[in-house]
Structure 1
Amino acid sequence: MEQRSRNLGFVKADMMNQLPEALILRILSFLPTKTVITTSVLSKQWRSLWKLVPNLEFDSEDYESEHHTFSENVCKVFLSHKAPVLESLHLKFRSHEVSPVDIGLWVGIAFAQHLRELVLHCLPQQERFTFPSSLCTCNTLETLKLKSFLVDIPSLVLMKSLRTLHLEFLEFTDDESICNLLSGCPILEDLVMDRTGTYDDVVTFTNSVPSLQRLWIRENSHGEGTRGYMINVPSLNFLEIEGLKGFDLCLNAPELVEAYLFDGSYIITEKFLGSLKAAKHLSLDLSPPLEITYPIGSIFYQLVSLEIGTGKAEWWNLLTVMLDNSPKLQVLKLIDEYLNFNKIYGLVCGKWNEPKCVPKCLLSHLETFAWTRYSWEREEEKEVATYILKNARLLKKATFSTNPIESKELNKLEKRRMMLNELDGVVRASNSCHLVFEFDSSYM
């Protein structure tokens, strides 16, 4: 039995040796560098193969028990590495384990090898690691991801090939640092900014990147109205923002197609809504206070799909504004993402006021209506659902998925059945509307 297992091992190793070298290198490129180096003991053919792998990945946690320091191990690899083109370099470390000189040396060598992707992750510690601004000059770099650094960029940089930039948990010394960084990326397409839990001296994030197409922003909830974002992105088609509570937001995105705004409190004015007027799809889940003023005229001429979160107070007021001002809306989805939270703490209810006139979209365009985790226990939700069914003339399908009933609440089954029967009995404006009831199992 032992001899058979040994023979099978030789057969598998021999099969690997028969693969084209390019394919072997491709397979090895998905592994951490430390693991790749261990393949050098497999055979004479593999002894130097790891040196040609076009991806290097180092995690200081993998070297904790080594006789050499993390820096020494990384330096040894760089001295032996011979790949003509370096596709990616990933470094994950603690601030006390390396110095800016080390980082500058390694990245400089990688730049000489025409590096295309650089990922630097400094594990959080009491003392911030300062990112060397000299590294922001590279003609071949296409992707840059920085995490948990202090960034001080006093002058303009140049990364003329950079298309993707991730800035996570960074602290910038001033407003100019972020401006100098973004201004040096003339063809940037994707930008991710995660600033949750960070505190710095930046008052206004100015983002003016003509080439930017997709933008993700995630903020903490500690804004006090003195900080904000000025976003001028004429080519942007996708936007996702989460957590801008108390922050000022000035947006210019005339080509916007999709926008997602979550967990923020905004003053919903004509100016704010106007910045989203080109969107075809909107998803809104906003927190009170929502100071809503009604825009003049129908401004969302392009909007065909709308999602609104129903898990926060005053959401129905936002729904009214959007229905009134989206004349071509075809798909409406209402989603309660906070079911468990609301079951424990309760949602502050209020009075929903029907629109003074039936919105144009209900009379001539709305075809699909879906309510995920419809709470049949709330009167205002029943009113909203009934209103849409009674007034949507072209509605083809209305789907309601209800929240689960726990075993200790079986007495509610009959009440839910009665409430759903009431919905089914609503006289619908559309004779072709198909009403569907589903049980949502995602929270079971």
Structure 2
Amino acid sequence: MSKKICSTISELPEDLLLKILSFLSTKHAVVTSLLSKQWKFLWTKMPRLVYDVCDHKDHTSFEQFIDKSLFLHPHHVLESLYFRLNSMVKIGPWISRVFHYHHCYLRELQIDAGAAYTPIPHELFTCKTLVVLKLQGESIKVEGLTTVCLPSLKTLHTDHSIIFSSVPLKLLLSNCNFLTDLKIIWISGVCLFEFDVSWCKKLVALKLEGLMDVISLSSSSAVCLPFLNTLHVTHIWKLNNDFFCRLLSNCPLLSDLTLEEKTSNVMLDLNIVLPSLQRLSIITKFNSSTHLCSLLENCIGKLAIIAPSFKYFTIQEDMSLSILIPFYVRVRLGDPSKLEYTSVFDRIVHLEQSICDEISQRTLVDLLQRFTKLVVLKLENVYRLTLYVYRWDMPSFVPECLLSSLEALEWRRYTGKDRDKGLMSYLLSHALCLKTVKIFSDVENKQQIVEDLASMPRGSKSCRLVFK
């Protein structure tokens, strides 16, 4: 049976052409209407429109493009809409138009407003078809709202938004009976509102940051979140740690948990059984490698008892008030039934760590010395601006894992500078079981890095190096 071969892109099926257009910005998708009669109205069948101010030379052309394209797009086709703005563009009238003409069909709305003052029309909060609502921006507001009815809403994300200063959170959630994914991040000063866990008992994912408290007004009976799988709670102003940790015992499916160190300590002290927990992330003030190793040992040791499914552990530096990339350490535990170990560190077979300064390099050496069964090591450069230029200080010992177990090494954002070359040379020359090394770099002079890597001695004769 012969197959028809398409000689031009225009001969492809329409659904495939629409799929191709979906990878373009709306601006470039509209430009394809100039190709031929077949393409003239094809973009109007796209169910998702993306309006990004960065695609336009100025805000005037951006506004004109939105005006014209929204007017031409059939209201029964549009299902998803995304706006990315700046301080020069106000989209309130367009949102009103969208809900006037597309109200019965829109399923997803995402607004990234930056610092732009963005008033939201009341129609948004009575849209019966809306499933996903994501609002990001410091000045997204709605005034005088008294009625909320979002019966289809499943995902609600508000990121760096002060919308709840004018819309009570309880009112917003009161008629969202099918909400499963809720994220609220507040960083603009002190937040004076609380979240009551009894408002959304069907949640699967809950992420809260910067609120005053996480409470339950239903004090007469324990609140159960039977479907909750992911819970991230950080920087809560007046968090009742004892109550909150007892709440965790009523989340039988909880598998992904992020907490601050002080809250995690209470959780571990209460010996709350977490049968489904697989991932724990702790946000903390990083003091030293000694502090980090103590935290690893304490948490992994206790979680081995109260969380039998536990596998992944992350410790991340608390830098909520900084624009710097945080220092982090991530580990994965091996199957205890397949390992012989005398300490909790022997269970760690996978390590990921950021390299940001001299302390983080020394921390890496300390961890390698303790993780005697390590198989995979992944590093990422997140160097910060500093006036102090340091070099790699080679230790006087070789960690056991380099001699007997490490098989895979990956390094992202490798610079090829002395501080990187020293550590890389040390790892390559002493890792006797190493099978693969993957290096990712975005520097201009990559050829010099390749030559430097090729000249480094290798302890493993079977090691294969891949540079990207």
Question: Which TM-score tier does this pair reach, normalised by the shorter chain?
Answer: 0.5 to 0.7
Q: CA deviation at 1:245?
A: 6.3
Quick one: percent identity of the two aligned structures?
A: 21
Match status 1:259 vs 2:256: yes
Q: Report the 3-state secondary structure (helix = DSSP H, G, I; strand = E; otherwise coil) of the residue aligned with 1:170.
A: coil
- 2-side partners of 1:275 and 1:282: how far apart? 15
TM-score, reference length from structure 1: 0.64
- List aligned pairs for 1:221-300, cutoff 5 A: 227-230=212-215, 234-241=225-232, 243-244=234-235, 247-248=238-239, 250=244, 251=247, 253-261=250-258, 264-266=261-263, 268-269=265-266, 277-287=274-284
Q: CA deviation at 1:147?
A: 1.0
Match status 1:399 vs 2:374: yes
- Deviation per CA, 1:1-58: give whole Å up to 9, x if none: xxxxxxxxxx99x722222223322322332222122111111222222222222221
Match status 1:82 vs 2:74: yes
- 2-side partners of 1:403 and 1:42: how far apart? 47
Partner of 2:23: 30
- List aligned pairs for 1:30-429, cutoff 5 A: 30-65=23-58, 70-82=62-74, 84-98=76-90, 100-112=92-104, 114-125=105-116, 128-148=117-137, 149-151=140-142, 154-174=145-165, 177-195=168-186, 197-199=187-189, 201-207=191-197, 208-217=199-208, 219=209, 227-230=212-215, 234-241=225-232, 243-244=234-235, 247-248=238-239, 250=244, 251=247, 253-261=250-258, 264-266=261-263, 268-269=265-266, 277-287=274-284, 312=292, 314-316=294-296, 318-319=298-299, 322-323=302-303, 325-326=305-306, 329=308, 368-370=347-349, 372=351, 378=366, 398-399=373-374, 409=392, 411-412=394-395, 415-417=396-398, 419-420=399-400
CA contact (8 A) 1:376 1:402 kept: no
Q: Report the 3-state secondary structure (helix = DSSP H, G, I; strand = E; otherwise coil) of the residue aligned with 1:77.
A: helix
When residues 270 and 189 of structure 1 are mapped into structure 2, their CA distance, relative to the original with a 3 A threshold, is closer
Match status 1:436 vs 2:411: no
Q: CA deviation at 1:235?
A: 3.2
Q: Report the 3-state secondary structure (helix = DSSP H, G, I; strand = E; otherwise coil) of the residue aligned with 1:102.
A: helix
- 1-side partners of 2:91 and 2:50: how far apart? 18
Look up the equivalent residue of 2:178 and give its one-letter code. Answer: I
- 1-side partners of 2:112 and 2:352: how far apart? 39
CA contact (8 A) 1:173 1:200 kept: no
Q: CA deviation at 1:123?
A: 2.3
- 2-side partners of 1:20 and 1:320: how far apart? 54
Q: CA deviation at 1:264?
A: 4.8
CA contact (8 A) 1:191 1:214 kept: yes
Q: CA deviation at 1:334?
A: 6.2
- Deviation per CA, 1:214-239: give whole Å up to 9, x if none: 2233x36xx8xxx2223766133322
When residues 262 and 152 of structure 1 are mapped into structure 2, their CA distance, relative to the original with a 3 A threshold, is farther
Q: Report the 3-state secondary structure (helix = DSSP H, G, I; strand = E; otherwise coil) of the residue aligned with 1:167.
A: strand
Which of residues 5, 11, 29 is equivalent to 1:18? 11
When residues 176 and 120 of structure 1 are mapped into structure 2, their CA distance, relative to the original with a 3 A threshold, is closer
Give ranges in structure 2 of 5+ residues lacking alignment.
Answer: 217-222, 318-326, 328-339, 354-362, 380-389, 413-419, 421-468
- 2-side partners of 1:100 and 1:71: how far apart? 12
Partner of 2:220: none
CA contact (8 A) 1:242 1:261 kept: yes
Give ranges in structure 1 of 5+ residues lacking alignment.
Answer: 1-10, 290-308, 339-346, 348-360, 387-397, 425-434
CA contact (8 A) 1:166 1:191 kept: yes
- 2-side partners of 1:55 and 1:324: how far apart? 46
When residues 373 and 185 of structure 1 are mapped into structure 2, their CA distance, relative to the original with a 3 A threshold, is closer
User: Aligned Cα RMSD in Å?
Assistant: 4.4
- 2-side partners of 1:420 and 1:37: how far apart? 60
Q: CA deviation at 1:267?
A: 6.3
- Deviation per CA, 1:368-407: give whole Å up to 9, x if none: 54362695865x996x769xxxxxxxxxxx3366799xx9
Look up the equivalent residue of 1:77 and give its one-letter code. Answer: S
Q: Report the 3-state secondary structure (helix = DSSP H, G, I; strand = E; otherwise coil) of the residue aligned with 1:193.
A: strand
- Deviation per CA, 1:388-433: give whole Å up to 9, x if none: xxxxxxxxxx3366799xx954642xx332x528x99xxxxxxxxx
Look up the equivalent residue of 1:280 and give its one-letter code. Answer: L
Look up the equivalent residue of 2:33 and give its one-letter code. Answer: S
Q: CA deviation at 1:315?
A: 0.8
Computing the radius of gyration from Cα coordinates, the structure with the larger value is 1
Q: Report the 3-state secondary structure (helix = DSSP H, G, I; strand = E; otherwise coil) of the residue aligned with 1:229.
A: strand
When residues 187 and 276 of structure 1 are mapped into structure 2, their CA distance, relative to the original with a 3 A threshold, is farther
When residues 335 and 438 of structure 1 are mapped into structure 2, their CA distance, relative to the original with a 3 A threshold, is farther
How many residues matched? Answer: 353
TM-score, reference length from structure 2: 0.61
